[in-house]
Structure 1
Amino acid sequence: MFAVLASLLASPASHAFAPSAAADAARCEVWDRELSFAQSVADHDTEAFASHLHPFAVFGVSRPNPQRGQGEILEAWAGLIAGRQTRLWWYPEHVHAGGDAGIVSSSGPALYQDVASGQYRLGRFSSVWQRGADGVWRVVFDDGLAPQPADPAKVEAFHRGRVGACPPA
């Protein structure tokens, strides 16, 4: 047993992971779903936002007191969805399916704009999606990095970086 493990650790390149066709299809489905999730906030559409949440989702998973369940998340996100004080945009940059094509991770940049001042901040998000029994992808876990002030060049780079179609793996 030790010899097998040692050989795997000694030559990781020889055991590269090649995603299956199902995993690649799942990756692209989540890419599209992530774009749809972001659009729900851009459109200030609470119902559409809620449709992307797993009923038992956890947001802020790296924090001591995350939001648990759809109700808490909707309450915590109400202001962002409404866009009254802060506007939020994001898009996927990396989407990966593992060995189980029913679980996929996504991550990318997130741009916040203070409505009163017009100032921008740039952060990052990371989400884990699960395909439900009904075939619909929903966010199970979500978190992000605290946004930092963004100058006009970073804001422009954010907008230029958005890719609408799922890129090849």
Structure 2
Amino acid sequence: MKRRILLLGMAGMLAVGCASPAPRTAHADLVEAVVAAERAFARTMAERDHQGFLGFVSTEAVFIDGDKSLVGREAIGRHWKRFYEGPAAPFSWQPDLVVVLASGTLAESIGPVSNPSGKVVARFRSVWRLESDGRWRVIFDNGYAICDCQAK
């Protein structure tokens, strides 16, 4: 009897050890799609690709710029063109948190903004929407400075 219990226990452990990893969920795939979109969006800055940047901005997007808002892709494009004009990117960004609604239609990405030397100088928050053509585009965006103070 003890031997039978031992064999059953070992068989159970073997079955668990050989089980394939849990399949990715559709939700995890959505999160990865938004992470990929955010990284590609950021790459437009590094590659100095203003037109590519505009492709990630929804036609009805709103970007916050200090105490005012930029409404629509054209206004955003005009304002952001200056960041794409020089040979080197004035800043870079990357997501460190992405969340997606269960419906899979809206997402938020948050992360650091770094200056050319790599120092984090701000954070961004972008809201993404899955649009009718199947592409994720930014509908709201806000960057905000962070404190450069010493911990006390």
Inter-partner Cα distance in structure 2 for 1:97 and 1:119: 28
Aligned-pair identity in percent equals: 28
Q: Determine if contact 1:79/1:85 at 8 Å carries over to the other structure.
A: no
Q: Is 1:89 the equivalent of 2:92?
A: yes
Structure 1 unmatched ranges of 5 or more: 1-19, 151-169
Q: Determine if contact 2:130/2:136 at 8 Å carries over to the other structure.
A: yes
The AA in structure 2 aligned to 1:47 is Q
**Count of residues in correspondence between the two structures:** 126
Give RMSD over aligned pairs.
Answer: 2.5
Structure 2 unmatched ranges of 5 or more: 1-23
Give the one of 14, 24, 45 matched to 2:28. Answer: 24
Matches for 1:15-164 after TM superposition, within 5 Å? 21-60=25-64, 63-83=66-86, 87-113=90-116, 122-146=121-145
Inter-partner Cα distance in structure 2 for 1:142 and 1:59: 5
Larger radius of gyration: 2
TM-score by length of 1: 0.66
Residue in 2 aligned with 1:165?
none
* C-alpha displacement of 1:145: 1.2
TM-score by length of 2: 0.73
Residues 70 and 129 (structure 1), Cα distance of their counterparts in 2 relative to 1, 3 Å cut: same
* C-alpha displacement of 1:147: 5.2
